[in-house]
A = this chain, B = another copy of it.
Amino acid sequence: MIFSSRLIEDAVAEFSKLPGIGKKTALRMVLHLLRADDTNVDGFTQAISQMKHGVTFCEQCHNVADTKICAICVNTSRDRSQICIVENIRDVIAIETTQQFNGLYHVLGGILSPLDGIGPDQLNVYSLQQRVKNNAEIKEIIMALSPTLEGDTTVYFISKQLSGLPVKITAIARGISFGGELEYADEMTLARSIAKRLPIDNYVNVSGI
């Protein structure tokens, strides 16, 4: 693409660096901002700037936070006996959005993957061990990791780390997705969902929808 304005060219180049954004989409966004009110565009750049310079990571659970301890950890109405272990902050947002979990989190910052050079030292694993040791109120550790080989390895590693500590370790249920069709489910999932079948009482929709 050839632009007659250097300023537009630079803005398009910056937008193109974002994931999944090509030159055409970037141009569309830049022209959108060019037409928008000055205050809206300043609001846009300020929100990003403030986010980048203001966001920190919670000292307790490693979730993103606006203060030293995140809003979830300081919330006194949450159940401090349950800690949900997740890979990253996207997973925290996903679980929070379901509004089905009222405990606290622990964000690992990744998943064990020796091939990618990610070992326990790269993850927030030891801080979890310390956290469980130092907080007698923690009764249950819920593993909410991806159902992959790396996820299972991580679950196993963490459960070893926590062995001997007085906590129950559970993992999120696996099975056929809501709205999923049996014939398209993979063999492993289907096999497991039959093996781990539930009494019909448990089939009520938890979210009450």
Contact = CB atoms under 8 A, between A and B. Distances in A.
Interface in A71-108: 71-72, 89-90, 92-93, 96-97, 99
A93 B27 contact: yes
A66 interface: yes
Interface in A49-88: 49-55, 63-66, 70-72
A34 B19 contact: no
Contact of A66 (B7, B47, B51, B54): B7
A55 B2 contact: no
26 contacts: A1-B93, A2-B96, A4-B70, A4-B71, A4-B93, A5-B66, A5-B71, A6-B66, A6-B71, A7-B50, A7-B55, A7-B66, A11-B48, A11-B51, A14-B48, A15-B44, A17-B40, A18-B29, A19-B28, A19-B29, A21-B29, A27-B90, A30-B48, A34-B64, A38-B52, A45-B49
Given A20-B28, A93-B3, A49 B55 contact: no
B34 A53 contact: no
Size range of the interface on A? Answer: 35 or more
How often does this chain occur in the complex, in copies? 2
A42 B42 CA distance: 13
Nearest to A5: B64
Nearest to A99: B2
Nearest to A6: B66
Contacts of A1: 93, 97
